[in-house]
């Protein structure tokens, strides 16, 4: 089993809180991680209809049976259980009583906010990071292979081809979850919408254009996007709103939590196709941004990531804020460095007062460079993010 970085934080928090909740996309390895880290805990999945009925209809009996040291998977499927859990852990006053796992973030967090606030630590587990795969000797050798294969654990655990895994994942989990939450009647139109989103990776989100191309209203688009975000399929990267310059873009950019899933939605069937694909730069950028997100989440930290673009088209792909310190990155998929890569970074640096040592270009080449404008960083397999 490939070691998950988040395991360290889970262990720490299990000694502080009565409940630790791990959320994330389906098939990201939540239950596998918890079962391997807490082998003495009993395991209950509320995906099982009988167990779900037991937890929902007889919560007192369920908690009397599973009173402590229990992993409850798909916990959001029995929201009525949470208020009883609150009373139970308050009376016991012990740490590490329950580990909850769930993949529908909207329902799970709603139940937690209503009943378990202050009683559970909440962590997010995304698919493998590049560092996790590298340390296990499993990271694909080329950048194209990494983008195309994606990072879902089952692909690596069972040696499944991405072209076999992702179509099944989309039909089994993405479409099913959305049908359950939104009661979508025209599944073809919704699937078209997801594919349209994949075609906009790294681009500014234009809701009106999406609505027109998908053939639905803007409120419908907003609703669908919210569900896909709550299901950890895609996310919006917000612009940096610091008032350095009033002529800034205030529209978010669209990314997917996994590039392998995005490649499948784009109809890419081999890593070789990426060499000439119009979205290779966007997919590379997406993969790099995802690693920043995973680095933060695996440490139990909420990512504070934004981008910056002015009305003249100058842009900084990623700004990471850590307290009062900001670091800015331009992300380029090409293997050859060009000084123009620093153009947006220099402009933003002048406006924000950020020094060159906090600026960097991350590119697809193999040679690190140190310029007077900032660092040029390759993305080799051992790169920590």
- Confidence at residue 380, expressed as pLDDT on a 0 to 100 scale: 58
pLDDT values of the chain reduced to their tens digit, one per residue, 385 residues: 899 999 999 999 999 999 999 999 999 999 999 999 999 999 999 999 999 999 999 999 999 999 999 999 999 899 999 999 999 999 999 999 999 999 876 667 777 888 888 999 999 999 999 999 999 999 999 999 999 999 999 999 999 999 999 999 998 887 777 767 777 767 788 889 999 999 999 999 999 999 999 999 999 999 889 889 988 999 999 999 775 666 677 899 999 999 999 999 999 999 999 999 999 999 999 999 999 999 999 999 999 999 999 888 899 999 999 988 999 999 999 999 999 999 999 999 999 999 999 999 999 998 999 999 999 999 854 444 4
CB 289 within 8 A of CB 234: no
For 203-214, give the DSSP string. SB--HHHHHHHH
pTM: 0.94
Give the model's pLDDT for residue 113. Answer: 80
User: Given its phi and psi angles, is residue 161 left (phi above 0), alpha (psi -120 to 50 degrees) or beta?
Assistant: beta
The per-residue b/e assignment along 329-355, b for 16 or more CB within 10 angstroms, e otherwise, is bbbbbeeebeeebbbbbbbbbeebebe
CB 245 within 8 A of CB 350: no
Rounded to an integer, what distance in angstroms lies between the CA atom of residue 230 and that of residue 220?
15
Residue span(s) of the chain under CATH 3.40.50.300 come to: 6-124
Q: Max Cα separation, the chain?
A: 67
To which H or E segment does residue 104 belong? Answer: none
Q: What integer pLDDT is reported at residue 299 of this predicted model?
A: 96
Q: Which CATH class is domain 6-124?
A: alpha beta
Q: What's the CA gap between 122 and 108, in Å, rounded? A: 10
Listed in sequence order, the residues at least 6 apart from 120 whose beta carbon sits closer than 8 Å to its beta carbon are: 17, 18, 19, 20, 21, 100, 112
Residue 378: how many other CB atoms lie within 10 Å: 16
Q: How far is CA 314 from CA 19, 52, 195, 258, 375, in A?
A: 46, 53, 28, 27, 19
**CA angle, 226 as apex, 224 and 227 as ends, to 5°?**
65
Q: For residues 320 and 308, what is the distance between their CA atoms, to the nearest angstrom?
A: 11
Q: Which CATH architecture has domain 130-284?
A: Orthogonal Bundle (1.10)
Q: How far is CA 302 from CA 232, 234, 295, 296, 322, in A?
A: 15, 17, 10, 6, 11
Q: Residue 382's pLDDT is what?
A: 43
Residues forming CATH 1.10.10.10 domain(s) in the chain: 130-284
Give the separation between CA 32 and CA 130, rounded to whole angstroms: 19
181: which 2 tokens?
Answer: 């939450």
Return d(Cα 181, Cα 217) in angstroms, integer: 18
């Amino acid at each position: 089993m490939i070691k998950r970085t988040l395991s360290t934080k889970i262990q720490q928090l299990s000694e502080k809180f009565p409940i630790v909740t791990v959320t994330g996309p389906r098939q990201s390895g939540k239950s596998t991680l918890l079962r391997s880290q807490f082998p003495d805990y009993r395991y209950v999945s509320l995906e099982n209809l009988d167990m779900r009925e037991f937890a929902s209809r007889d919560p007192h009996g369920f908690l009397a049976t599973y009173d402590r040291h229990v992993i409850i998977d798909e916990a959001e499927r029995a929201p009525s259980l949470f208020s009883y859990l609150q009373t139970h852990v308050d009376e016991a006053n012990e740490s590490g009583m329950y580990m909850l796992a769930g993949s529908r973030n909207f329902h799970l967090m709603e139940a937690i906010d209503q009943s378990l606030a202050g009683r559970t630590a909440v962590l997010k587990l995304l698919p493998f990071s590049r560092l996790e795969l590298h340390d296990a000797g499993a990271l694909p050798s080329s950048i194209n292979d990494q983008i195309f294969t994606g990072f879902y654990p089952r692909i690596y655990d069972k040696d499944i081809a991405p072209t076999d895994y992702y179509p099944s994942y989309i039909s089994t989990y993405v479409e099913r979850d959305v049908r359950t939450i939104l009661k979508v009647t025209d599944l073809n139109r919704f699937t078209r919408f997801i594919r349209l989103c994949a075609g906009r990776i790294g681009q500014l989100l234009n809701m009106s254009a999406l609505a027109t191309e998908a053939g639905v209203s803007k409120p419908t688009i907003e609703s669908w996007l919210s569900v896909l975000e709550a299901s950890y399929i895609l996310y919006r990267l917000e612009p940096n709103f610091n008032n350095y310059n009033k002529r800034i873009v205030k529209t978010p950019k669209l990314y997917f939590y996994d590039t392998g899933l995005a490649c499948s939605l784009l109809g890419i069937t081999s890593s070789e196709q990426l060499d000439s694909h119009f979205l290779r730069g966007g997919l590379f950028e997406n993969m790099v941004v995802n690693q920043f997100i995973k680095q933060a989440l695996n440490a139990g930290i909420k990512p504070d990531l934004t981008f910056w673009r002015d009305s003249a088209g100058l842009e900084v792909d990623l700004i990471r804020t850590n307290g009062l310190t900001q670091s800015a990155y331009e992300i380029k998929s090409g293997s050859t460095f060009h000084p123009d890569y620093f153009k947006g970074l220099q402009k933003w640096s002048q406006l924000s007062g950020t020094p060159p040592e906090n600026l960097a270009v991350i590119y697809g080449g193999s040679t690190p460079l140190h310029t007077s404008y900032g660092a040029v960083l390759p993305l080799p397999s051992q790169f920590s993010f």
